[in-house]
């Protein structure tokens, strides 16, 4: 899948598709599709049941940073970050299972299975602990990696992360979208996103009591006007990530959910802060 379509929001995009309205599109990466394809070709890691697709840039021997998109999404959402990698760093962005060029065709709704795919990629890159950057549903996935595979997570950067199960109110329209024949008419990315969202609340509830055991530093970036992943998620993370070595929270007053694109400088600063916290005594 090329990045001809812009990123779409989780809920509004599905509603827009079902009602044939204009969805809630946001600008994609500034980098052109041709330039991305030339400089960031997709590579594949063979997992037991399917291939995991990813793009990478920077120094293969450098500090590993893995970017995990939300739902729906694909690796190219992080293309502008990969086009400007600082010396000594290795950036990798994945197509999560069920999206982009990764298999399987159906949704992988288990956070643990999504985390296992990320862990497999880290091991394939040499098993160096990685700084994990997760946006939206990518937030609980990187937290799940830290809980399930603590040796592979050096730090977490959670951008507009949806970790609070109490904030997951699934609209009726999404259940309708998951029924035949409506589901058969949806593009794969929206069909799988819909199924992930419907299944997310119990997954988050299972993860919540394990968050206190996460020791790695955590940086959080969240906008106060996020209508898709409410700002209340920040309070939840503060109250549950009690075992972390260090935590830093960047509150973006008046900002919405689309921080990787409209607040790239803040996200990059959070990544830099995560490395600084790792180095602190």
Task: Give the list of residues 6+ apart from residue 278 with CB closer than 8 angstroms, or none.
Answer: 131, 154, 155, 216, 217
Interval 46-65: pLDDT, tens? 999 999 999 999 999 999 99
Interval 106-147: pLDDT, tens? 999 999 999 999 999 999 999 789 999 999 999 999 999 999
Q: How far apart are CA 130 and CA 147, in angstroms?
A: 14
Sorted by where each begins, the domain ranges of the chain are 10-27+42-279
Q: What percent of the chain has pLDDT over 70?
A: 88
**End-to-end distance of the chain based on CA atoms, in angstroms?**
44
φ/ψ (deg, to 5) at 258: -95, 50
248 within 8 A of 270, measured Cβ to Cβ: yes
Architecture of the domain defined by 10-27+42-279: 3-Layer(aba) Sandwich (3.40)
């Amino acid at each position: 899948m090329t990045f001809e379509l812009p990123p779409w929001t989780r809920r509004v995009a599905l509603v827009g598709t079902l009602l044939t309205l204009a969805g809630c599109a946001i600008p994609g990466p500034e980098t052109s599709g041709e330039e991305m394809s030339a400089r960031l070709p997709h590579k594949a890691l063979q997992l037991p049941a399917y291939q995991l697709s990813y793009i990478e840039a920077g120094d293969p021997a450098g500090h590993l940073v893995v970017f995990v998109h939300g739902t729906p999404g694909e690796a190219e959402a992080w293309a502008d970050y990969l086009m400007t990698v600082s010396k000594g760093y290795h950036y990798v962005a994945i197509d999560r299972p069920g999206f982009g060029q990764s298999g399987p065709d159906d949704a992988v709704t288990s956070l643990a299975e999504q985390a296992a795919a990320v862990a497999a990629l880290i091991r394939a890159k040499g098993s160096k602990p990685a700084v994990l950057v997760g946006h939206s549903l990518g937030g609980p996935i990187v937290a799940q990696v830290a809980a399930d595979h603590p040796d592979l997570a050096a730090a977490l950067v959670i951008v507009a992360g949806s970790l609070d199960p109490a904030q997951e109110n699934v609209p009726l329209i999404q259940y309708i979208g998951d029924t035949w024949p409506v589901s058969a008419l949806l593009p794969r990315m929206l069909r799988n996103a819909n199924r992930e969202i419907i299944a997310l609340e119990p997954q988050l509830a299972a993860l919540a009591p394990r968050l206190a055991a996460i020791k790695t530093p955590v940086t959080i970036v969240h906008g106060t006007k996020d209508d898709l992943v409410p700002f209340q998620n920040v309070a939840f993370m503060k109250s549950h990530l009690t075992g972390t070595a260090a935590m830093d929270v960047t509150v973006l007053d008046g900002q919405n959910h689309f921080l990787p694109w409209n607040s790239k400088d803040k996200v990059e600063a959070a990544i830099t802060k995560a490395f600084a916290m790792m180095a602190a005594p």
